[in-house]
Chain A
Amino acid sequence: MAAPVRILTAVPICDGHDSAINTINLEFIRHGIEVVYLGYHRYAEDIVRAAIQEDVRAVGISSYNGGHVEFFVEVVKQLRKRGADDIAVFGGGGGTITHDDQRVMKKRGVDKIFFAGTSLTDMVDFVHDRYGKAHRHNGRNGAPADMQLARKLTQIEDSFANGKTARKSATKKTGNTRVIGFTGPGGAGKTTLIDELVLRLLKRDSKLRIAILSHDPSVVGAGALLGDRATMINSQHDRVFMRSMATRGQAGGLSPATEDCLQLLAQSGFDYVIIETVGTGQEAMPFQSKLVDQTVLVMNPDYGARLQLQKIVMLDLADIIVVNKSDQDRARTAMSEIGRRVEQNGREQRVLATVAKRHRDVGVDQLCDWLTQPIARMSRRAN
């Protein structure tokens, strides 16, 4: 089976009109398209960076607040400048984009403008027909490193879509790269926590580079909404390489291609590689890979009765257990119940309370400290 079409959608800077794009995204997903959604109020620069890293076939922009000629053209211009002239730009703006505007925009490299009254089906068909085929070239030599890496990741994903099966476990990585796995149930705040961690890591060291491999669920042959970028405001940064993957039918929180993609990222000279699973169930143990140095389980204080904790496998395996949203009433109870549950393991594990949504949260500071300490030292201090 061919790999799904991947596109990126976004709403321009100073524009919060996301009603149309939300509806269109849903329709794309229902028709087998993987949509990396960047959200609203986005700079052209952020859209271009994301489009290249995510290696999408096209960028769809929904604009309702004026300034569309400048904005669409700016995206085209920056894509070309970064060697990604084969990523197409299309979009619409209801009645706000006139035929005259469209002529100017097309002349300056915009592929297609949809006018008011276009049916959702027409848009879906257009994307399949026009962007269904692979890129003309695959990260040719001399292309920027981000783009080469992105295209190699696509090759890996495509090979799995075309029938390759997962290999056991990769081991190779560059010297100082640290790979950290984040997992936990849906709604625990993993994405926000990682984004806050990224903010701190970037601030600590002005040269440090981070890769993020984030996952969203999908079933075989269907589309997916890859929406983590929309909430990860700090991770839209030139020193962060982020890739959003759909699980494409694999259970357990990761994609069939994750291990190979991780191997590639681990060899690409990043200081940190962060993997985020989809929201997982009690039995999940996603990080079997030898490439993962440390694992963090992110929990919500609201997990139900204490007995439920006995069933969560990751409580045995994780190096750090974070109880996020610890401003909730139940957080104290959760901390002490989880503390006791972890003691049974007799392993060096740490438990930490955070409120990731709070700016400058001390819990997240602490997590950042732990994750930047040398691993051996950390284990020693754990007792």
Chain B
Amino acid sequence: MSKLGSVVEAVDKYNKFVEDEVKRARTDKKFGQQMVTRWNGIKAKIPLGSAPTGLKLPRLALPEIDEAGDIARYLLGDGLPGEFPFLNGAYREMYLEPLQTPAIELGAYEKNAHNGKSKNNGSRNGTKNGVKPQQAEEPTRLFSGLMLAEDTNERFHFLGAHQRSKRLSTAFDGPTLYGIDSDAPGILGKIGEGGVAVDTVEDMIRLYDGFDLGSPDFSASMTISGPAPIIMAMYIAAAKRRFGNDIVPRLRGTIQADIFKEVQAQNETIFPVEASLRFLTDMMEYTTREMPRWYPVSISGYHIGEAGSTPVQQAAYTLSNGFAYAEMMASRGIPVDEFGPRLSFFLDCGLDVEYIALTRVSRRIWAIGMRDAFGAGHKAQMFKVHTQTSGRSLVAAEFKNNLTRTAAELMLSYMNGTNSCHSNSADEPFTTPSEEWIRLAAHGQAILLDESGIFKHTMNMLSGSPGMKAVERAVEAAILEEFREIERLGGVMGAVENRYQRSQIQTAAHRYEQQIYDGTRPIIALNKYRNSEEEMPEFELARTPRAKQQLQVDRLKKFKAKNAKKAEAALEKLAGVVETDENCFPALMEAAEVCSLGQISTTLQEVVGRFRPMV
């Protein structure tokens, strides 16, 4: 049995435990009384806040229950925000506005509760005893990447101008995602398209120029998986060149590096699966030890969702992939409480009804699985998630409707207590988003979180409706059913080799298209209320000019010529280490100083082979 089997057992067992405790609270008078006392204590400690209109509201809303069994079911089955099993939120206050008069001590809701303080990660928190509350960072993230490094750098500075904290999220172009150099034959037209072109450490320096990579207010997120360990090594090399070797432990950010979802859905894999996983684990081992503020893998359901999976498949495959990574790290002897808190997640949020509670349920399953199947402590139980609204749900026909689609998805994302969020631009069906629509997308988030009172006054403002509960139950059962099937196929790896996830996703995608075609899935302005007069809008598209593409090629050639000798030695050393069982990440970091991405990936492919696609 793989660990996934143990996770299924753990969740079943925990659900039974909750029901047993509910019964106990109803039959064992003393225990029942304890529950009621605890509940009243929690309620008494909830601070009051006030809306701009003067309306006083508690900062945490709780269900109106006073019966011991119901209380037990809520506290154990759902948990308060920030408490196991985290159904209502990974942190206590998430998006709440800081209290203006922080005289009330915001300790734990209960004296004896864990002392997991919420920091960063999109939570807004007051600090103790009269100190002016520190303003937490915005949960808004905007994904960007276009043309050459200096162009993306300019975009980053434009975006950052609207944010207190600099949270850069980087998209790479096709050649970079596939570990191919810009000077390779047959790919010129792809340079700088759909993301930024990065071939060398010099590009990496240009990309984040002007940002202080070691500042607590800075983080870089890099959306790349196949060659992720090489890009990570390049990022470290660039940081060292700019700030010296001491910068390494202060680097903060995320690299996607999720090989399983690539093989299951997104297809940006360049080495065979086992070799990819080895490079990944080598890198994770290094960052876990040396870069305590880095998230070395972002376990991603987004691309699974975008490839056409159902929401349940998205959550089930993402969670099971996460448990598989945890199993790999544990098998290297790294303690779960060291690597567990460095695992983070990335989910898609579309308009299907499952999204009412998909993230909530995912958080609960992760917490139970990590605690009971892996023995994780509080911090490693938390499912920390970045959400992006669904690009797939956006359509070209009357594209301004996409603003409404994205707004609804944002609402769902925040109802689920996402830690951070990216909202898509309405022009995405056509092109890399333009500044006008990016701005509107960012404003959408600000309107929801800052302008409206929906999320800033009270935690649990919209949690726990009967409908949401019904969705939670149905979704959890369906996810566990998927887990059981994956386990029957030999765990995540066995299922991957059997093409299980791929074929499930493809079947779901095909059904989705047929439903659009036969009208069972209404898409406004596409198959319902269609305006046959409409002409497709013409955008000024963000295309990379040929001269820029050529510039990238020329720069790379110069870099290669300059470093030819050193590169050869570094590559030879790297190949030698990869042949052994040693951790190859240090050799990779050395190579990244003097070699191009393509030189490194080709050398690695010579040793471990190329990825053989699954169709």
- From 26 to 72 in chain A, residues with beta carbon under 8 angstroms from any chain B beta carbon are 26, 37, 39-41, 43-45, 65-67, 69-71
B613 touches A (CB below 8 Å): yes
Q: Is there an interface contact between A67 and B267, defined as CB atoms closer than 8 Å?
A: no
A230 to B611, CA, bound (A): 11
> Pick the contact of A357 from B308, B541, B612 — CB < 8 Å?
B612
Task: For A358, list chain B residues within 8 Å (CB).
Answer: 272, 609
A96 touches B (CB below 8 Å): yes
Interface code B387-411, partner A: CB below 8 Å = 1, 0 otherwise? 0000000011100000000000000
A13 to B176, CA, bound (A): 12
B186 touches A (CB below 8 Å): yes
> Pick the contact of B430 from A40, A70, A96, A360 — CB < 8 Å?
A96
Interface code B252-281, partner A: CB below 8 Å = 1, 0 otherwise? 000000000010001110001001000000
Q: Is there an interface contact between B615 and A65, defined as CB atoms closer than 8 Å?
A: no
> Pick the contact of A98 from B275, B513, B538 — CB < 8 Å?
B538
> Pick the contact of B538 from A15, A18, A65, A100 — CB < 8 Å?
A100
Least CB distance from A227 to B in Å reads: 5
> Pick the contact of A14 from B178, B517, B526, B614 — CB < 8 Å?
B178
Interface code B534-559, partner A: CB below 8 Å = 1, 0 otherwise? 00101101010000000000000000
Q: Is there an interface contact between B509 and A37, defined as CB atoms closer than 8 Å?
A: no
A18 to B613, CA, bound (A): 12
- Which of A112-120, A200-208, A252-260, A290-298 touches B? A112-120
B194 touches A (CB below 8 Å): yes
Interface-central residue, A12, A16, A23, A192, by most chain B CB under 10 Å? A16
> Pick the contact of A96 from B175, B188, B431, B609 — CB < 8 Å?
B431
Q: Which residue of B lies closest to A12 (CB)?
A: B190
Task: For A71, list chain B residues within 8 Å (CB).
Answer: 189-190
Q: Is there an interface contact between A357 and B272, defined as CB atoms closer than 8 Å?
A: yes
Give the number of chain B interface residues (Cβ < 8 Å): 49
Q: Is there an interface contact between A14 and B180, defined as CB atoms closer than 8 Å?
A: yes
Q: Is there an interface contact between B509 and A192, defined as CB atoms closer than 8 Å?
A: no
> Pick the contact of A13 from B190, B396, B430, B526 — CB < 8 Å?
B190
Least CB distance from A66 to B in Å reads: 3
A65 to B607, CA, bound (A): 29
B429 touches A (CB below 8 Å): yes
Q: Is there an interface contact between B609 and A359, defined as CB atoms closer than 8 Å?
A: yes
Q: Is there an interface contact between B396 and A37, defined as CB atoms closer than 8 Å?
A: no
A193 to B612, CA, bound (A): 12
Q: Which residue of B lies closest to A25 (CB)?
A: B615
Least CB distance from A314 to B in Å reads: 24
B495 touches A (CB below 8 Å): no
Task: For B187, list chain A residues within 8 Å (CB).
Answer: 13-14, 67
A124 to B267, CA, bound (A): 26
A120 to B509, CA, bound (A): 13
Task: For B175, list chain A residues within 8 Å (CB).
Answer: 14
Task: For B543, list chain A residues within 8 Å (CB).
Answer: 66
A185 to B8, CA, bound (A): 33
Q: Is there an interface contact between A23 and B510, defined as CB atoms closer than 8 Å?
A: yes
Least CB distance from A59 to B in Å reads: 16
B595 touches A (CB below 8 Å): no
> Pick the contact of B509 from A19, A41, A230, A359 — CB < 8 Å?
A19
A23 to B506, CA, bound (A): 7
A268 touches B (CB below 8 Å): no
Q: Is there an interface contact between B397 and A19, defined as CB atoms closer than 8 Å?
A: no
Task: For B93, list chain A residues within 8 Å (CB).
Answer: none
A348 touches B (CB below 8 Å): no
Task: For A271, list chain B residues within 8 Å (CB).
Answer: none
Q: Is there an interface contact between A67 and B190, defined as CB atoms closer than 8 Å?
A: yes
Q: List, sorted by A's number, 5 A–B pairs whose CB atoms are closer than 8 Å.
A: A19-B308, A43-B186, A74-B186, A116-B536, A233-B612
B-to-A contact residues, CB < 8 Å: 173-175, 177-178, 180, 186-191, 193-194, 262, 266-268, 272, 275, 306-308, 395-397, 429-431, 506, 509-510, 513-514, 517, 526, 536, 538-539, 541, 543, 607-610, 612-615
